[in-house]
Amino acid sequence: MVQGLCPSRRVCLYPTMPLLAEWLLCHSLVACLLLHSLALSATTAGLHGANTGCSESCYCSEMADGGRVVRCSNMHLAEVPHDLPNDTRRLYLDGNLLTTIPADAFAGLPLLNELDLSHNELTQMEPGAFRGLVPSLRSLDLSSNRLTTLEPEVLGGLRAQANLTHNPWHCDCRLQVAMPRLDLEPVSLAGVVCHTSEPKNVGVDTGVPFVMVAADLDLCAGLKRTTDVAMLVTMFGWFAMVISYLVCYVRHNQEDARRHLEYLKSLPSILDRPEESSKLSTVV
């Protein structure tokens, strides 16, 4: 095309007046080709940058409806990665060595709707561990860990469907009080199966979902009795302190009164001494 418009190199480089229009068209086409090449390079660089935004410890893939799937499974991770892309929608951290979930661990993932933390070594989740996920998270897998109790402050009002199975749950007053305050879907609580219980003589059956027996048991009864005894002991202690103070106060006042009476008894003898001295002077 360029050769047709520019029949010779000499004509394109040194155009004459009749060929000025053809010369301008020739260079315009070259400029368009250069701009098109620059646009393609910029697009390629942008796509390359988006693909390399994944965490170093994970594998990422694009979802058809936007967002990413981030897979960090079986990577021997001891903590949640800090460089997760903020457009993550599904995050798989299963099969790692996580022992705790710190506060704000997923605060930079506002689009996250599925989180898999199964098959780790989780024993503790700090309050605010799932902060920022309440509007988006719909599925949470905490199965096959070492969790023993649930705290409403940890889940932070999550309304997700959670898998809580295969954890050594310790059914006690603390758990019984916490479960009604959880906002998880009710079917999720069926995964809380008692592994141990306290007190042990209340008849909690191991292997039975706690929600099925919690309504008929009062695991806080022993704690209430202990609290009542502690309150009685405290009240008795305060009463004994008040009585001791009153006894000391009375004894102290009695001692002061005795000294005051002795002082008053000594006053007449002091007043009689000037009369004796005057009698002596008269006799002299």
Q: Which two tokens stand for residue 66?
A: 């936007």
H or E element that contains 278: helix 221-283
- Say if residues 59 and 71 touch (Cβ distance below 8 Å): yes
pLDDT class for 202, splitting at 50, 70, 90? low
| CATH architecture classification, 59-217 | Alpha-Beta Horseshoe (3.80)
* Helix %, strand %, coil % of the chain (to 5): 50, 10, 40
- Least reliable range by pLDDT among 21-25, 78-82, 109-113, 141-145: 21-25
CA distance 77 to 94: 10
Contact 39, 32 (CB under 8 A): no
State pTM to two decimals. 0.61
Sheet holding 114-116, edge to edge: 59-62, 68-71, 88-92, 114-116, 139-141, 161-163
Residues 6+ apart with CB under 8 A from 124: 99, 100, 101
Mean pLDDT over the full length of the chain: 77
The answer, yes or no, to whether residue 223 has pLDDT greater than 90, is no
pLDDT digits (tens, 9 = 90+) for 247-271: 777 777 777 777 777 776 676 655 5
